[in-house]
Amino acid sequence: MDIDNPSKPKAEGKLLVVILVGAPGSGKSTFCEHVMRSSTRPWVRICQDTIGNGKAGNKTQCLSSAARALKDGKSVFIDRCNLDREQRSEFVKLGGPQIDVHAVVLDLPARLCISRSVKRTGHEGNLQGGKAAAVVNRMLQKKELPKISEGFNRIMFCQNENDVQSAISTYSTLGPLDNLPDGCFGQKNPDAKIQVGIMKFLKKVDVPVNVASRENSIRESVSPQIVEKKNSCCREEEEEACSSIPVNAGFESKEAKDLDGTPHDAPTLAFPSISTSDFQFNHEKAADIIVETVEEFTNKIGNARLVLVDLTHGSKILSLVRAKAAQKNIDSQKFFTHVGDITHLYSKGGLHCNVIANAANWRLKPGGGGVNAAIFSEAGVTHVIHVLGPNMNPQRANCLNNDYNEGCKILREAYTSLFDGFASIVWTGAEQSKGSSEDIGSKALELCQSNGCTRKHSSNSDQKIKRDGIHASERSKRCKGPQDDFGANSTNSRAGKLSPENRNIDGSMSKAWGSWAQALHRIAIHPERHEDDVLEISEDVVVLNDLYPKAQRHLLVLARTEGLDSLANVRKEHLQLLKKMHAVGLLWAEKFLRADGSLVFRLGYHSVPSMRQLHLHVISQDFDSKHSKNKKHWNSFNTGFFRDSVDVIDEVTNHGKATLKDDDRLLNMELRCHRCRSAHPNIPRLKSHITICQAPFPAVLLENGRLVHAPQ
């Protein structure tokens, strides 16, 4: 309302600069036409193909025309490809106090854009026919999706026709005085540049082997840049997926053997070399990547096996990989090569595999085609993972034009996603297995519940499984102990199963800790066995870096007292130990602050940790980390679930114990910035916000020394 005339409505609507982002054939011009035909807001379409009196012009002409339209009080569509930041930057600068800058990203499949471009006639820019395919392909290779940090108020991503129709409806119904909320909307694959590396899991239907017409259901889609979980659970995040794979999970454990006499009860993935055949990827570089990713994965698995397969005995890639694996002393029982047809590994080659990867191309459709059916005809195969890798062949779609920096990155991520996918299948098998031990079934249930999975699981237990698997930072990957930590000899007790020795001082019952959750306990009790991991050892505490830090600086201070598993066990007699842990944490925070005075630290405990042994988190408040990937990661440090060390000390001093805020609702709360408390729909958008947020911390954190920072 107008202050001087309360009855007069205040015109609050802002002008808009809507920058369309998309390849030729993505539908930018059609989008503009639909909106302008039905909108009550005055719009001007700025098209570089027609800016010069109906002929093609340049960016400068588009900028001038847009500025004139805005001066006349009209909103504008910038109808050009705008596929990289540099192309968008000058148009973003048109924004101001009364002008919002939006992006509508028509991120449709490359093949759809190519098909449209090739088929159209009479195009304004004359991009049509056979030449269009090469142009679209080349432009998509340099695609850089827009980010809020470029200066946009709002970004709307459209990845299919339904998304496009939704965006058209949004802008068509926007009146002259209407505004749209700021933020990113619809983004599903924020880091993807090229649609390569797609994997599809196809699960074998439980029907007799001799049934010819098998039906297959898509289990999960994974891209090497971002893992999109459609129907998948039992996995917290990519690098956690293979931290401690249950042995024989989900597969029959009999005395069956391969033809060479090797027992084949272990979960086994057979995979070909990705991209080195039809996609012409350099063999030497590919071999390095295979061995590096295999080495990382085999360090984390029990008796699961990886097998690289090729058709020919004289295969160059097999020779290179064998030599490089030998140099790194990779366990030949966990990784080896095999010559044979991937569709007949057992029937003709004697190699028993549960999961097989198929190097696919972009034409792959749901159902998998003939190769998929042929693979499933092999006895014992439960899943096929189709992998689309980077292309260096100019005769195939999405060629990278010999850009091996990008190609190696994509190939490495493709193998990592493949192995993580295998781990996910193994874990899912653990949950479904009829003959597996109780601890394996419980582990699968824990992992599902920790990820907020809503799918119901069968279980013989009436116990409610707590969230032992939430925090990547506390995974058993930290421990590099003997195999029985994770392997065949481990004898985990069922998570959540109670016994007299699990009774707390106050009579309450605590859960038993599975072997995988014992890693911090082992380090605390025997730190001398983990010298490579620890930063400091004293009589009372051990200090080590968090293996998957959630910020630039993230340490754990472990108590060395037996029986002190978590805050639930803390009583008044532990007060001096709590103070010692806090003092040690402060010293490390101050050490980091001397190196970087811009950091701010917080010291605290999780109300219900996922790992045994009381440990204090010392974490910088930038939260700049690739390992913070889901809501529970964020909320475990930015809600009441995280108990400040100073408050815990006060509570134990005054009441003899700490208050535990064990409420799932805390971990499932909406994502809010830890400084300004603004809400955000997902982690990528939250991260984009916190990089630029300069708001002061909430008053409650500024009290009682909860934040540690350099002297002002």
Residues classed as catalytic: 615
Distance CA 360, CA 287 (A): 19
Q: Which conformational region is residue 545 in: left (phi greater than 0), alpha (psi within -120 to 50 degrees), or beta?
A: beta
Distance CA 582, CA 580 (A): 5
Q: Give the chain's end-to-end CA distance (angstroms, integer).
A: 43
Which residue in 495, 488, 519 sits closest to 333, CA to CA?
488
Which residue in 615, 592, 617 sits closest to 604, CA to CA?
617
CA 697 to chain CA mean position, Å: 28
Residue 202 in tokens = 């196809």
- CA angle 669–670–674, rounded 5-degree value: 95
Between the CA of residue 11 and those of 2, 40, 555, 618, what are the distances in Å? 9, 15, 52, 49
**Which helix (H) or strand (E) segment is 441 a member of?**
helix 438-450
For 337, counting Cβ atoms within 10 Å of its Cβ (0-12 exposed, 13-18 middle, 19+ buried), the class is middle
Residue 43 in tokens = 């719009």
DSSP annotation of 64: H
Question: Computed from CA positions of residues 82, 88, 90, 95, in that sequence, does the dihedral angle turn out positive or negative?
Answer: positive
- Chain position carrying tokens 């033809």: 259
Residue 548 in tokens = 């998957």
- For the chain, how long is the longest CA-to-CA vector? 92
What proportions of the chain, in percent to the nearest 5, are helix, strand and coil?
35, 15, 50
Residue 110 in tokens = 């490359």
The amino acid occupying position 86 is E
Which residue in 147, 186, 182 sits closest to 167, CA to CA?
186
Question: Computed from CA positions of residues 170, 174, 180, 184, in that sequence, does the dihedral angle turn out positive or negative?
Answer: positive
Distance CA 530, CA 479 (A): 8
The amino acid occupying position 70 is L
CA 217 to chain CA mean position, Å: 23
Q: Tally Cβ neighbours within 10 Å of residue 179.
A: 14
Contact (CB, 8 A) for 553 and 592: yes
Extended beta strands in 86-195, E state: 99-106, 154-158, 183-185
Give the sheet arrangement for strand 15-21, strand by strand.
43-47, 75-79, 15-21, 99-106, 154-158, 183-185
Residue 197 in tokens = 């590396």
**Which helix (H) or strand (E) segment is 111 a member of?**
helix 110-119
- Three-state SS string over 395-435 comes to CCCCECCCCHHHHHHHHHHHHHHHHHHHHHHHHHHHHHCCC
Give 268's contacts (C-beta < 8 A, 6+ positions apart).
304, 305, 306, 307, 351, 352, 353, 354, 355
Radius of gyration from C-alpha coordinates of the chain:
29
Distance CA 51, CA 61 (A): 7
